[in-house]
Chain A
Amino acid sequence: MITFDHVSFTYDGEQFVLKDIDLTIEAGQFVCVLGANGSGKSTLSKLINALLLPDKGHVFTKDMDTAESENLFLIRSNAGAVFQNPDDQLVASLVENDVAFGPENLGIENPELRDRVTEALHIVGLSGSEKRETTALSGGQKQRVAIAGILAMHPEILIFDEATAMLDPRGRRSLMRVCKDLHQRGMTIIMITHFMEEAAQADRVIVLDEGSVVLDGTPDEILTQDEKLRELNLDVPFAAQLSRMLQDRGIDVATHIETESLQKELLERFNITLNTEA
């Protein structure tokens, strides 16, 4: 679906923010990209839909070279991105006009246009908000309208570039729900984030450091490496942090990345000690 073939990128012609990246992302994967500020993760996401072009190597999105200008239209309509600041991404004053903006530019006309807007708003949980003013929405709602605007273009790839960074916990949870739902509908999701709880829900976690891929694997393989993550200036999921603290205190538990599984193991241990007492 997406291939990075020996990709390097520089903004100023001197310092490479991405260095010789080789990656393949399969259709339908939910990939989370982690990395400290300046690691190159946003740059990576912008190369996918040709917002940036590689200085060395090639990026293929749906087998189309992003550097070929005749591919641009198809690539952009197939890979949409939602960025950090909810206030920067809406173009119209009414929700329905904003969502219709993308498909309209693709040449979609009514009644299909109207159907697409209705469907997209339904998916992001904003049915009935068609006539609301975009300025009156909360940050989380604005982000969902931005997603709806992309969904209405029927893309196969959705890129979230720190799209939850400026949201409060409730907004973040609602956006994650939409994201998981879209993944279940078969979309390819690329999520750039600092939040480990979000990364734990992906199929695959890629960690960048100074422009190179340093870790690549399942959340279980990557997020349990607490020392390595700290070295890379990243957070450690709460469950992994607590697992490690318990190990330091002489409790023999596995390192978990999700709280439910850690709680389950601790409870089992507690019940065993209860039974031996009895």
Chain B
Amino acid sequence: MSIAFEQVSYSYTPLSKRQKKKGETAKYALKNVSFTLEDGEFLAIAGHTGSGKSTLTQHLNGLVHPTEGRVLWNGLDMADKKVATQARGDIGLVFQYPEHQLFAASVYEDVAFGPRNLGCSEDEVELRVQSALEAVDLDYEKLRDVSPFELSGGQQRRVAFAGVLAMKPTTLVLDEPVAGLDPASRADFLKLIGSFHESGMTVVMVSHNMNDIALLADRVMVLNEGEIVWLGSPDEVFMHFDELRAIGLGVPHAQRFAKEMRELGFPLEEKLYSPESLADAIAARLKSGEQS
């Protein structure tokens, strides 16, 4: 189930023909974006506020259509309404603060909404609701009849995730999935998202937390002012330390620490993104000094 962007540009205020003739230029939220989302990969999209991240994710399931260029789903143009409708069952989009979109009187009804809309039988709906709630570590029997609004914020977000999973998408698109959670729930959610990926789903995660990205992503895309600045492995992207800072993004804590140490004259290798590998390297360096 591949998704391909072909030179996609998007403007929220496209110009009329007359304005074009006058030589006015439109403001673009996305400019000439081309890439292919590979099956089963974990792609992280990072960018400063206003970089075009959310606009890009909305193209992924046909919520908005390119002003120029095409988005292809299995080779089919998503600008075609029929294609977009089909694709929506296949690509699950979880918005920022998805718990704000819960609406039903019970957890069951909320999660059942998606599969019912897909035309599933009630038996099938029940199966899907049950397995979706289990996938997000919620107790189906205990919570099915509870109002989602009586749950904690973290649980509400799990219900919202389950609602998307119940549509059985092969691709999951998550816009800032752990924003606003406390540290313990953050860690739980990141683990959960990692498990979706391990179970074979293609995952696209929008985030500006480079530590989270370093932990999970196979590939990282960095957007700035609507354009792709880098697209590659975490190694390839995180080496652009100063440039990332300049466009308002950080780098993983461990990497920043290592770089500053190098500059202070403490020799450390590059590509140290996790605290564990950094601690190993520093300890080894200090011990080798002691032994010699």
A168 and B184 contact, CB distance less than 8 A: no
Total inter-chain residue pairs, C-beta < 8 Å: 96
Tell me, in angstroms, the Cα distance from A166 to B266 when the chains sit together.
Answer: 36
Q: Is the CB of B286 within 8 A of A269?
A: yes
Whole-angstrom distance between the Cβ of A272 and the nearest chain B Cβ: 8
Chain A residues contacting B276 (CB-CB under 8 Å) are: 245
Cross-interface CB contact of A139 among B49, B185, B260, cutoff 8 Å: B49
Query: How many chain B residues touch A (Cβ–Cβ < 8 Å)?
Result: 38
Chain B contacts with A in 245-270, Cβ cutoff 8 A = 248-250, 253-254, 257, 260-261, 264-266
Bound CA–CA A29/B292 (angstroms) = 50
Stretch at the interface among B30-38, B77-85, B277-285: B277-285
Give the contact stretch, choosing among B134-142, B175-183, B192-200: B175-183
In the complex, which residue of chain B has the Cβ closest to the Cβ of A170?
B248
In the complex, what residues of B have CB within 8 A of residue A194's CB? Answer: 182-183
Say whether A235 contacts B183, CB under 8 Å: yes
Is B257 a contact partner of A251 (Cβ separation < 8 A)? no
Residues in chain A near residue B285, CB distance under 8 A: 270
Residue A234 lies at the interface, judged by CB distance under 8 Å to chain B:
yes
Q: Is the interface of A mostly helix, strand, loop or mixed?
A: helix
Q: Which of A210-264 contact B (CB under 8 A)?
A: 233-235, 238, 241-242, 245-246, 248-251, 259, 263
The total of chain A residues at the interface (CB under 8 A) is 38
In the complex the two chains form, what is the Cα distance from A66 to B182 in whole Å? 30
Could you tell me the distance in whole angstroms from the C-beta of A250 to the nearest C-beta in chain B? 7
Residues of B within 8 A of A270 (CB): 265-266, 285-286, 289
Interface string of A70-87 (1 = CB under 8 A from B): 000000000000001000
Across the interface, A263 reaches (CB within 8 A) one of B208, B254, B257, namely B257
Beta-carbon contact of A263 and B50 below 8 Å: no
User: Which residue of chain A lies nearest to B285 when distances are taken between CB atoms in the complex?
Assistant: A270
Which B positions have Cβ atoms within 8 angstroms of A?
A: 48-50, 152-154, 179-185, 208, 248-250, 253-254, 257, 260-261, 264-266, 275-276, 278-280, 282-283, 285-287, 289-290, 292
Q: Offer 18 A-B interface pairs, CB within 8 angstroms, sorted by A.
A: A37-B154, A138-B49, A138-B50, A139-B49, A140-B49, A171-B49, A233-B184, A238-B275, A241-B275, A245-B276, A251-B283, A259-B260, A263-B260, A267-B261, A270-B285, A270-B286, A273-B290, A277-B289
